[in-house]
Amino acid sequence: MIIYKTEQEINIMREAAQIVSRTLGKCAEIIAPGITPFEMDKMAEEYILSQDAIPGFKGLYGCPSTLLISVNEQVVHGLPTKKPFKEGDIVSIDCGSLYKGYYGDHAYTFKVGKISEEKEKLLKVTLECLMLGISESKEGNRIGDIGYAIQNHAEKNGYGVVRDLVGHGLGKKLHEDPQVPNYGRRGKGKKIKNGLTIAIEPMINMGTHKVTQLDDNWTIVTEDGLPSAHFEHNIAIINGKPEILSTFKYIDEALKKK
């Protein structure tokens, strides 16, 4: 059942999302060769707690960490380790916050130092997929329109679209209805209405769309070992149009200073 949100609820969700946005901005400040995912996770937890919120992921479904940090061929759900990032890595950092009973949840794939042209293109196209999906999130459209826009752009560029994991509704629970796949057919799925709040999160692979899970029962990797990228925003449908509740502004500001 889809739970449509009031203006007041959306305002709280916007702040929950902004807490995540600022946390990802803090990650942008420190990510570099030699930094470990473990250090980043500790910093993120301390920051979220300082914002009168609690980490949205930690403890949920048994998750042991504040951040999920996925490097190169890791698609999503990577657990923070003490293995340092190295020059040329791409790193998806997924973060959640729980603020006044509502979740914020979004992600960004970072470059560590200079990366290959192939990885640069993968990040560019994945971010474009996210924005194309958001543009289809308007009243009267259907969920399939979002997935179609993402899938079409990714596959046109020769990439695989992950099928096993999808975007989702968001609210008092981290995962609500409806599911928001990154693939689909125009005109199919639930109709988009005002008050809908969703997380759109393309997971796009350089090679095959197929993925597998590591023995830690968390980390999802590409089946062919090629890199994957992941970007995620939180969206509310207001006055018939998508409003992005999260922002990459803090990330952009931090990266410009480097």
Number of domains, the chain: 1
Give yes or no for residue 19 having a pLDDT over 90: yes
The rounded distance, in Å, linking the Cα atoms of 170 and 177 is: 8
Q: What is the mean pLDDT of the chain?
A: 98
Residue 222: inside a domain: yes
User: Residue 85 burial (CB < 10 Å; 0-12/13-18/19+)?
Assistant: buried
Token duo for residue 194: 């005002």
Give yes or no for residue 166 having a pLDDT over 90: yes
Q: In the predicted model, what is the mean pLDDT of residues 82-93?
A: 98
pLDDT digits (tens, 9 = 90+) for 172-211: 999 999 999 999 999 999 999 999 999 999 999 999 999 9
Evaluate if pTM is beyond 0.85: yes
Range of the domain at 97: 7-256
The rounded distance, in Å, linking the Cα atoms of 256 and 144 is: 36
Q: Provide, rounded to the nearest whole percent, the portion of the chain with pLDDT above 70.
A: 100
- How much is the pLDDT for 121? 98
Token duo for residue 162: 């992950």
The answer to whether 92 touches 74, Cβ cutoff 8 Å, is yes
pLDDT digits (tens, 9 = 90+) for 48-58: 999 999 999 99
Residue 202: inside a domain: yes
- How much is the pLDDT for 4? 98
Q: In the predicted model, what is the mean pLDDT of residues 79-108?
A: 98
Q: In the predicted model, what is the mean pLDDT of residues 144-170?
A: 98
Residue 33: inside a domain: yes
Give yes or no for residue 61 having a pLDDT over 90: yes
Residue 2: inside a domain: no
Q: What is the DSSP string of 95-118?
A: EEEEETTEEEEEEEEEE-SS--HH
C-alpha pair distances (Å), 91 with each of 48, 87, 125, 183, 243: 20, 11, 16, 23, 26
As a whole number of Å, the end-to-end CA separation of the chain is 45
Say which CATH number the domain at 121 has: 3.90.230.10
The answer to whether 228 touches 222, Cβ cutoff 8 Å, is yes
Give yes or no for residue 258 having a pLDDT over 90: no
What's the number of CA atoms in the CB half-sphere (13 Å) around residue 21? 17
